[in-house]
A and B are shown apart, each in its own frame.
Chain A
Amino acid sequence: DSGVTQTPKHLITATGQRVTLRCSPRSGDLSVYWYQQSLDQGLQFLIQYYNGEERAKGNILERFSAQQFPDLHSELNLSSLELGDSALYFCASSAGPNTGELFFGEGSRLTVL
C-alpha cells in the first residue's frame, strides 16, 4: 500500500461527457502528479501541483484541468471526452517540489464508449 488513494477505480462513460478523478496523497506529501497511461504509451506526465500551486505542466489537453485543494487532495477533470481518452490515470505523490521517489496510487481506469 503506497498510501496514495485514488477514486474511482473504474469509470465507464460516453463521448462528450465530463468526469472527475480524485486523489489523496500520502500523508505529509505536498506534491501531487497526474500521469496518463495508455496501451503501449508508457506514462505520460500531465501536471504537477505542489502545496496547492501548479508547479509543472506536461502534455495535458485543454479539455483537461486539475487542482489541488488546501487539504492537499487533488482532482483531475476531464471534459468533452473522446474515445482516445480511454486510459489508466495515475496519481502520484512525493514529499517535496522536486521529484524524489514517487508513490503511485492504484489508478483510475477510464473507458469512454
Chain B
Amino acid sequence: GQQVMQIPQYQHVQEGEDFTTYCNSSTTLSNIQWYKQRPGGHPVFLIQLVKSGEVKKQKRLTFQFGEAKKNSSLHITATQTTDVGTYFCAGPRRSQGNLIFGKGTKLSVKP
C-alpha cells in the first residue's frame, strides 16, 4: 500500500549544528505537509508544499518538495534547544485523501 517513510528516525545534534530530515513517498503526492510534535505535546502544523520543486522558508527552517513530488526535506539551520521534538511529514492517501504520516524524526539538541 501507499507509504510515507522518513529518515533518520533519531538525530542528536549539538546546539548550533544544522539538522535535516528526509521524507519519501511510495507514490506521487498532490501536496506534503510537515508537523512538529514537542515532547509530551500534540502535532502542530508547520507548512504545506504543493508545487513541484517548491522551496519555502520559515526563519531557520527550509522546506523543499521534490521535482517528482515524491520526496521532501526539512532543514533547520543552527539548531536551538527550542527545536527539540519529533518532525513528521504527511501526504494525502490517493484513494481517500486522509493524511498518511511518516514515523517521524526525533530531534534532540544538546546545549
Interface residues of chain A, those whose CB is within 8 Å of chain B, are: 2, 33, 35, 40-43, 45, 48, 55-58, 90, 92, 97-107
Return the contact of A45 from the options B43, B88, B98 (Cβ within 8 A): B98
What is the total number of residues of chain B having a CB less than 8 Å from a CB of chain A? 21
B13 to chain A, nearest CB (A): 20
Contact A2 B42 (CB under 8 A): yes
3 interchain residue pairs of minimum CB distance: A42-B103, A56-B96, A43-B101
Q: Which residues in B have some Cβ–Cβ distance to A below 8 Å?
A: 33, 35, 41-45, 48, 88, 90, 92-93, 96-104
Contact, CB under 8 Å: B98 / A56: yes
| Docked complex Cα distance between A58 and B95 (Å) | 11
Q: Given A98, A101, A104, A107, which contacts B48 in the complex, CB threshold below 8 Å? A: A101
Q: In this complex, what residue of B is CB-closest to A98?
A: B97
In angstroms, how far is the closest chain A Cβ from the Cβ of B47? 9
Question: Are B98 and A41 in contact, with the CB atoms below 8 A?
Answer: no
Which of A33, A40, A107 is in CB contact (< 8 Å) with B98?
A33
B9 CB to closest chain A CB, in angstroms?
A: 8
B45 to chain A, nearest CB (A): 5
Task: List the B side residues contacting A41 at CB < 8 Å.
Answer: 103
Select A102's contact among B45, B93, B103, B104, beta carbons within 8 Å. Answer: B45
- Please name all residues of chain A whose beta carbon is closer than 8 Å to the beta carbon of B42 when the two chains form the complex: 2, 90, 104-107
Q: Would you mind naming 12 contact pairs between A and B with Cβ atoms under 8 Å apart?
A: A2-B44, A33-B98, A42-B88, A42-B101, A42-B103, A43-B43, A43-B88, A48-B96, A56-B97, A58-B98, A102-B45, A102-B99
Whether B103 lies near A40 (C-beta < 8 A) is yes
Shortest Cβ gap from A97 to chain B (Å): 7
